[in-house]
Amino acid sequence: PFEVVPCVPPAIAAPAYAGIPVTYPGAGDTLTFVRGYEDEGREELKVDWGALAKLEGTLVSFAGPKQLTSMINSLLAHGRPGDEPAAIIRNGTLLTQHTRTGTLQELSDAFRELAPSGAGVLVVGKVVGLRDHLRWFDERPLFGRRVLVTRSREQAGEMVDLLEAQGAEPIEAPLINIVPPEDYGPLDEACARAGAFDWIVFTSANGATAFMDRLLQGPRDVRALAGARLCAVGPGTASRLTRFGIKLDLVPEDHSADGVVTALKATGSLKGKRVLFPKADIARDTLPEELRAVGAQVSEVVAYRTVTAESDEHLDIYRQLLDRRIDAVTFSSASAVRAFVGIYGADQAVDLLNHTIVATIGPVTADAAIRYGITPQITSATSTIPALVDALVAHFKTLAVSQ
């Protein structure tokens, strides 16, 4: 037994993604599909070119490079007008899609000057002229841009989806992995007395997940947090906590250490208040120290560790950067910057990034890059993934206008 799954063939899908409908009122009464492949190695197609040349409608074929050349020349030789609009679409519907338009004669001349490479969809007819009005897929602001995503693989999904929606080709190359603490003892102790704290301050989605996952192991549930007020720094952290059914008491608008302390102080005096700070093993001490400076009793506990990920030899990011095949490198944390420098060395890291766009999430990550001599051309105003992607879009839109 088997099942037939209906699909859209390349000869229709590729033109649609290029902004070329294969049928349209006024574009002729016929639509003809020509099978572009015959026996392997055979260039000539068994087609009545004289009859095809006389048709006034649209002709479409998915063919290999040799067949495309033969097809165009055969149509011209049998009387198809040389000034008729035509297009060749390669890698249709993919982020690497490329569309070339012109007249039938112009495409023939181009093939004589430069041998075509790769299969493609040939469209001949008036419908090609609609591309200027209907193109959408390759009009997206990041179309054709190759963007390096350095987030951990577990967290890269959001950025990958947002980049693809804007037309970019994301290259996933995690620089860091999120792993459990070496000793769960301190974290378990903090979870056991979570309700005894006045505030629990979560500064990252990773910290929130690690803490809550550990808290909910065994007989406990979210009621173990009763008595403590919860603060989440950044919408990403807040969103992660709400997945656990938690309502937050505070989400500061300013994500800096000063901003968080100011927001906490606005709820009342922090003097003598017990504050739990679940963190990464390499987290900065800025926020805990500022809280202590205003009288808070801060307990820091390592909820997770950040370790450098093993590089993917198949991707060979080093070679891609060296060959300038990556348009932008994104860093979504200071630890990702440190990992990049740790892998390639400080001097080489700067050299590799000199010829590409460096995009950092928020001022903390930007400062980390600058400390290593790396100059970010893009820094998102807020420390969120959507803001970082928006900043990339704005940058490349400006770049396109200036060119």
pLDDT score for 314: 80
Amino acid residing at 136: W
* Rounded Cα distance, 338 and 331, in Å: 10
Model confidence pLDDT, tens digit, residues 149-195:
999 888 899 999 999 999 999 999 999 889 999 999 999 999 999 99
Q: What are phi and psi of 56, to 5 degrees?
A: -95, 0
Chain CA centroid to CA 57, Å: 40
- Asked if CATH classification 1.10.357.10 holds for the domain at 10-136, the reply, yes or no, is no
The hierarchical CATH code for the domain 146-175+309-402 is 3.40.50.10090
CA–CA gap between residue 352 and residue 323 (Å, rounded): 10
How far is it, in rounded angstroms, from Cα 126 to Cα 319? Answer: 44
Domain boundaries, the chain: 10-136, 146-175+309-402, 178-307
Whether 10-136 shares its CATH topology with 178-307 is answered no
- Nearest-angstrom CA–CA distance, 179 and 173: 17
Return the pLDDT at 155: 86
Q: How far apart are the first and last CA of the chain?
A: 57
Among 221, 248, 216, which Cα is nearest to 235's? 248
- Which regions of the chain are under pLDDT 70? 38-44, 113-117, 402-403
* The length of the chain, given as a count of residues: 403
Q: What is the pTM of this model?
A: 0.80
How far apart (Å, rounded) are the C-alpha atoms in residues 227 and 349? Answer: 47
Q: What's 178-307's CATH class?
A: alpha beta
Cα Rg of the chain (Å, integer)? 29
3-state secondary structure the chain: CCCCCCCCCHHHHHHHHCCCCCCCCCCCCCEEEEECCCCCCCCCCCCCHHHHHHCCCEEEEEECHHHHHHHHHHHHHCCCCCCCEEEEEECCCCCCCEEEEEEHHHHHHHHHHCCCCCCEEEEECHHHHHHHHHCCHHHCCCCCCEEEECCCCCCHHHHHHHHHHCCCEEEECCCEEEECCCCCHHHHHHHHCHHHCCEEEECCHHHHHHHHHHHCCCCCCHHHHCCCEEEECCHHHHHHHHCCCCCCCECCCCCCHHHHHHHHHCCCCCCCCEEEEEEECCCCCHHHHHHHHCCCEEEEEEEEEEEECCCCCCCCHHHHHHCCCCCEEEECCHHHHHHHHHHHCHHHHHHHHCCCEEEECHHHHHHHHHHCCCCCCEECCCCCHHHHHHHHHHHHHHHHHHC
What is the Cα–Cα distance from 135 to 51, expressed in whole angstroms? Answer: 31
